Structure 1
Amino acid sequence: MARKKGRDISGWLIVDKPAGIGSTDVVGKVRWALDAKKAGHAGTLDPDATGVLAVALGEATKTVPVLTEALKAYDFTVNWGAETITDDAAGEVLDSSAARPSADQILSALPRFIGDIMQIPPAFSAVKVDGARAYDLAREGEVLELDARPLYVDELTLTEARADQADLHMVCGKGGYVRAIARDLGRALGCLGHVASLRRVWSGPFDVTNAVPFTLVDRANQAEIEARLLPIQSALTDLPEMRATDQGAVRIRNGNPGQVIGGTAQYGEQVWVSHDGRAICIGRFMGGEVQPDRVFNP
């Protein structure tokens, strides 16, 4: 079997994604710039959205499921008075309204979108319907009735209200669609609405203020980009850390339960294990030992 081309390079690169490019395209550009063998990302951003896109390289891709579970924060602007087919400014207008909400009306409506809610994803989304992506079916003209999905919204606040727009800030769990929040908020206020602009300001431990500008992602800047890579364990801050003994590290690297020390994990809790300051696995704490689920190759 032919080996996949590219370098064995591992870590996280946090990119400030610009508007007008897809998340997969950003990952491809990062992989090309670093000549990396393997790359992925933790959480898609719409092509017109900007902000934090966490790109995992090599062994860091094994930590993507952990980061996917983390809370994420968005700053976004809603245009009042129209609902679009895509729930953002790029889509065809489906219906319009002359009504406009006051700041007090917006504030009174926000609590119903906080906590554990049910949300119907936009028709133009990556949700799968009978094995196909919803956006592909929607582009073909199929009328979709997507099922509501649970979403945890930790925070939804009004930043500024203007005559035709409102700026909001939202912190939510995985699977949340800001476009659906704008759509449903517009309906609740009786004025209709859609997202005008959207920026992800942080994702788990990764903040946009520390992100690499996408304009830097080029082979000519390979050394500079590589210097900005974060270690694998950067994505694991929500998990307790345990330290492997020397013998335990050998066993864990071979996929076996290994002895660990330190930490405050409870029996059966998911943890990450370090040895000599480097992450070697994610696993389950079994009382003195960790049973590895994902082992990071050195």
Structure 2
Amino acid sequence: MARKRKGRDISGWLVVDKPAGITSTSVVNKVRWALQAKKAGHAGTLDPEATGVLAVALGEATKTVPYITDALKAYRFEVRFGAATNTDDAEGEVIASSDARPSDDEIKEALHQFAGDIMQVPPKFSAVKIDGQRAYKLARDGEDVTLAARPLFVDELLLADRPDADTAVLEMVCGKGGYVRSIARDLGNALGCHGHVTWLRRVWSGPFEADEGLTLDRIDELAHDPALDAHIQPLEVGLTDLPELRCTPEGAAKLRNGNPGMVFASDVEYGDECWASLDGRAVAVGIYKAGELHPSRVFVDAE
């Protein structure tokens, strides 16, 4: 018989302003402990040295994680020119160097090739799996790591600041699966001078912004205190990119049992993915077909 997981049945989102020097998993564990939550997960890993938005899903909100993972995200980061590293960031060993430095205009011109739908090769030191093993583990063991390029949508990539000839601050809005370190590496190569990331901050992720996030120090201060609950956002926030359909109590009952339920729709089409609500609370996510929602994810109503 499986052991029952201990903790509170609490659902929603807690936005953390992640500091540098800690893994995303460690942040989730800290939040789970502070809230005494039974279940928690995050929507999109940040590298240990990166800072900014880490949205932590609690309880039933973990079922909405894919919709935040798929949403657009914004990053602000600094690229140092003149050196390539084996990790594509400042933590790695320098593997190539150059005395060349690009002008502002050269940088702006080169950025055009990284806009829109592009193909990007992840860093060798990344969590991408190769034959079941993480690429970073193979790279640390000295193995020759070759990663395939994968598609990425870059909505915007701009030169935001130029502190000096050696560095440039960029701002990027992109879709799922983007590696900022790869952008810095490939930009340096395109400019003929090499480059790597020195610092990175995720400014926003879908509906969540870094400015509204709690620091880990603040979470420590409020640990096991009901005041921390006041910072939890409803799980429905994770569904803001999907159309909302309202349903009747009868329709909600059917949906919660995993069956198609009647919904009221006006601006959606047959086959659209939507979510159904009753009195503002999420009931299910599914596919709309001829007046009914066919559920793929069902939310347990704690009340």
Fold match by TM threshold 0.5: yes
Q: Which runs of 5+ in 2 are unaligned?
A: none
Q: Secondary structure at the match of 1:160?
A: strand
Instruction: Quote the Cα distance in structure 2 between the aligned partners of 1:174 and 1:247.
Output: 37
How does the TM-score come out when normalised to structure 2? 0.97
Partner residue in 2 for 1:65: 66
Partner residue in 1 for 2:165: 163
Instruction: Quote the Cα distance in structure 2 between the aligned partners of 1:156 and 1:72.
Output: 12
Are positions 1:113 and 2:114 aligned together?
yes
Partner residue in 1 for 2:237: 234
Are positions 1:276 and 2:279 aligned together?
yes
Partner residue in 2 for 1:205: 207
Cα RMSD between the aligned structures? Answer: 1.0
The CA deviation string for residues 247-274 of structure 1, in whole angstroms up to 9 with x for no partner, is 1001001110001114521111100111
How is 1:134-173 mapped onto 2 (pairs within 5 angstroms)? 134-161=135-162, 162-173=164-175
CA contact (8 A) 2:265 2:291 kept: no
How is 1:185-204 mapped onto 2 (pairs within 5 angstroms)? 185-204=187-206
> Which one-letter code corresponds to 2:110 in the other structure?
A
> Which one-letter code corresponds to 2:96 in the other structure?
D
Q: Secondary structure at the match of 1:5?
A: coil
CA contact (8 A) 1:241 1:263 kept: no
Partner residue in 2 for 1:17: 18
Instruction: Quote the Cα distance in structure 1 between the aligned partners of 2:62 and 2:8.
Output: 15
* Aligned residues with identical type, % of pairs: 63
Partner residue in 2 for 1:224: 227
Q: Secondary structure at the match of 1:212?
A: coil
> Which one-letter code corresponds to 1:157 in the other structure?
L
Q: Secondary structure at the match of 1:4?
A: coil
Q: Which runs of 5+ in 1 are unaligned?
A: none
How does the TM-score come out when normalised to structure 1? 0.98
Instruction: Quote the Cα distance in structure 2 between the aligned partners of 1:15 and 1:172.
Output: 20
Question: 1:220: how far off?
Answer: 4.3
Q: Secondary structure at the match of 1:218?
A: helix
The structure 2 residue matched to 1:261, chosen from 242, 245, 264, is: 264
Q: Paired residues, what number? A: 298
Are positions 1:249 and 2:252 aligned together?
yes
CA contact (8 A) 2:222 2:228 kept: no
Q: Secondary structure at the match of 1:266?
A: coil
Are positions 1:26 and 2:34 aligned together?
no
> Which one-letter code corresponds to 1:210 in the other structure?
E
The CA deviation string for residues 148-174 of structure 1, in whole angstroms up to 9 with x for no partner, is 001000000001122110000000000
Instruction: Quote the Cα distance in structure 1 between the aligned partners of 2:149 and 2:190.
Output: 17
Instruction: Quote the Cα distance in structure 2 between the aligned partners of 1:42 and 1:220.
Output: 23
Question: 1:13: how far off?
Answer: 0.5
Instruction: Quote the Cα distance in structure 2 between the aligned partners of 1:220 and 1:60.
Output: 21
